[in-house]
Structure 1
């Protein structure tokens, strides 16, 4: 494994926890009164994140746990939960936000994911930390980072557009202001050195 990638990557369990946090924060941007185009962007953002997350777990993380704990109950539940999540995402992609049932399907996805996250955070991740240890989790984190980049790269434009569309206008304006102010401060700092 590339030593630089290993240093820059979080451990596998930290990465999974970060993914969980990202999904939960994105879920909570969704409200029944949210405009349809924003609902679609939120659904697309969380769907892409969940699909990549599930694939990383299934390809890299779960097999590492199974090597040491072949009868692990949480993992045996996790893959069918991922399949149900994929079914709900496909249903959401086949409908539009104004359609009957769109909100209910999204809320069902949210409930299922929150339940799944609770199982992993309270049982699977602490067990993985005990079973695998810091060094192995670091190696798995680097492999997961590399694979995440491979999975996300073809979808980078879609992910960026949906993330921007899912943000409230005030957040976009505040971010733009921070970038402009940061650029000004950097330029000023550089000119004072000359």
Structure 2
């Protein structure tokens, strides 16, 4: 359970969505066709997991609130359709190895789709949410999203930590996946440091 103060201090729903977009794009920027296969896989796994958690938060919490606030749901329906295409590409990537011929191309296709989706949300849907819902409702939704984010990240804490060790800075890890996963990563880091200096 998230305590009321934490819920109040959680970033607003729209701020969390923008932060998620920034994080996933920062992973994409680290990916090069000549990157080592193990690092490629860690980057792809990290991006896919972040996108899965992000889209689930939007579909469970943010989009329903937007449907309620808008007279027409066309913009939200389009966003959900884009999520379905992202999930199709994620499933494809999960079934591939980084040494497969189409791996780079499949990840680049996912990247293009995410860029397009993020740009549309940030220019149309998020400003509309800020106008229609207002800061107090967005803070409330942000608290719900943060609580759910921690629940969704928890079973993947080990995987997130391992991907993080290979690909990311701790601050980015904390920003994206919440305290549970980052905590696991930090504990491991501190333990490893202590272990090596015994």
Under TM normalisation by the shorter chain, which class is it? Answer: 0.7 to 0.9
Indicate the RMSD between aligned Cα atoms, in angstroms. 1.8
Measure how far apart 1:7 and its partner are: 2.7
Where 2:30 maps in the other structure, the secondary structure is coil
Higher RCO, Cα 8 Å, sep 6+: 1
CA–CA distance in structure 2, aligned partners of residues 125 and 100 of structure 1: 37
CA–CA distance in structure 2, aligned partners of residues 70 and 34 of structure 1: 47
Superposition map of 1:150-169 within 5 A: 150-167=151-168
CA–CA distance in structure 2, aligned partners of residues 97 and 8 of structure 1: 40
CA contact (8 A) 1:74 1:119 kept: no
CA contact (8 A) 2:20 2:50 kept: yes
CA–CA distance in structure 2, aligned partners of residues 101 and 144 of structure 1: 35
Distance 1:17 1:125, change over 3 A: same
Measure how far apart 1:19 and its partner are: 0.4
Q: Does 1:125 align with 2:126?
A: yes
Q: Deviations over 1:6-47 (max 9, x none)?
A: 232000000000001001101110000000000000000010
Q: Size of the alignment, in residue pairs?
A: 171
TM (norm. structure 1) is: 0.84
CA contact (8 A) 2:8 2:140 kept: no
CA contact (8 A) 1:74 1:120 kept: no
Q: Deviations over 1:109-140 (max 9, x none)?
A: 00000000000000000000000000000000
- Give the gaps of 5 or more residues in structure 2: 170-185, 191-198
CA contact (8 A) 2:61 2:144 kept: yes
CA–CA distance in structure 2, aligned partners of residues 106 and 57 of structure 1: 22
Structure 1 partner of 2:58: 57
TM (norm. structure 2) is: 0.82
Higher radius of gyration, 1 or 2: 1
